[in-house]
Every structure is written in structure tokens, then in C-alpha cells.
């Protein structure tokens, strides 16, 4: 066994004098480099883990914000629906009241008819019912007088 150790020491001395590094020095450098690589990889893995945890937390926060937005949108949709119903009711009421006045009077002025048509078309745009259609037809059938705040020349 001693003989192998002596030969190894001779080989080490030869390599040391020839290349400036012996077997033991090479093994030391190899071990040191491997340890440095392992240390760097552990550091990189730690950073990757922290980044992944931050992404998971960020996604969770985004999910919470999206849930809040969905709740807000549902509330806004409901409010918009209620406003559309209120607008339809307001237009229906205006058409009803104006029709009642015009039909009782027996005629409509050119300006009133123009205004009435605007109300009617807005009512139809918000999907008003057939009551508006019937009242519009009755008012359109009335005699039209060229009097009031607008004349035929100004409307056409």
C-alpha cells in the first residue's frame, strides 16, 4: 500500500512541476468549483421560489380584484336595467299625456307633431310596447295645423 502512495506522490510532484497543478490541487479546485456551483444554484432556486410565491400572491390579489369588478358590474347592469325601465316609463307617460291632450282637442300643431314623433321614436328605441304604436297612429291621423312655435317651413 505504501508503494502506491509513493507512486501517487511522485506522479503528483511530476504533474505539479509540469503543469503547475497536482492531483490533490486539481481535486481541491474541482471540489471548490462544484461547491460554488451548488451554492449558486441554491441561491437561484431560492430566488425562483420567492418569485413564484410573489406571483401566486399577485394572482390571488388579481382574483380578488376581478371578483370585486364582477360584483360592481352586476350592480351596474342592474342599475342600468332599472334606468332603462324608468326611461321607458317616462317616455310612455309623456306619449300618453300628449296623446290625451291632442286627441281631446281634435288636432295637432306641426311643432307638437314633430316633438311627438321624437318621443315616439325614442320610446320604440327602448323597446316600447304597442300602446305607443296605437297612440302614435291616432295622433298622426289628426288634422295638422300650421300654428304654434314652429311652422311647416321650419320643421321640413
pLDDT tens column, 51-80: 888 888 888 888 888 888 898 899 999 999
Within-domain flag for 6: no
Within-domain flag for 129: yes
Cell of 101: 291632450
Within-domain flag for 7: no
Within-domain flag for 13: no
Our CA dihedral for 33, 37, 40, 42, rounded to 10 degrees, sits at -130
- The residue among 143 and 57 whose pLDDT is bigger is 143
Within-domain flag for 20: no
Distance from C-alpha of 6 to C-alpha of 32, rounded to nearest angstrom: 26
Cβ–Cβ < 8 Å for 91, 122: yes
pTM: 0.56
Within-domain flag for 32: yes
In three-state secondary structure terms, 108 is: strand
Within-domain flag for 2: no
Q: Which domain holds residue 77?
A: 28-155
Q: How many domains does the chain have?
A: 1
The DSSP letter of residue 22 is -
104: exposed, middle or buried (C-beta count within 10 Å: 0-12, 13-18, 19+)?
exposed
Amino acid at each position: 500500500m505504501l508503494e502506491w502512495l509513493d507512486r501517487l506522490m511522485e506522479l503528483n510532484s511530476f504533474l505539479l512541476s509540469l503543469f503547475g497543478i497536482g492531483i490533490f490541487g486539481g481535486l481541491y479546485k474541482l471540489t471548490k468549483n462544484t461547491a460554488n456551483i451548488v451554492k449558486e444554484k441554491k441561491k437561484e432556486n431560492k430566488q425562483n421560489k420567492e418569485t413564484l410565491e410573489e406571483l401566486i400572491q399577485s394572482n390571488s390579489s388579481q382574483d380578488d380584484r376581478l371578483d370585486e369588478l364582477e360584483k360592481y358590474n352586476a350592480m351596474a347592469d342592474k342599475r342600468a336595467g332599472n334606468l332603462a325601465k324608468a326611461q321607458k316609463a317616462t317616455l310612455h307617460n309623456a306619449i300618453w299625456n300628449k296623446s290625451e291632450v291632442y286627441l281631446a282637442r281634435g288636432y295637432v300643431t306641426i311643432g307638437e307633431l314633430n316633438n311627438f314623433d321624437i318621443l315616439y321614436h325614442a320610446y320604440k328605441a327602448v323597446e316600447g310596447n304597442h300602446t305607443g304604436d296605437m297612440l302614435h297612429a291616432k295622433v298622426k291621423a289628426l288634422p295638422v295645423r300650421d300654428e304654434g312655435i314652429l311652422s311647416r317651413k321650419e320643421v321640413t
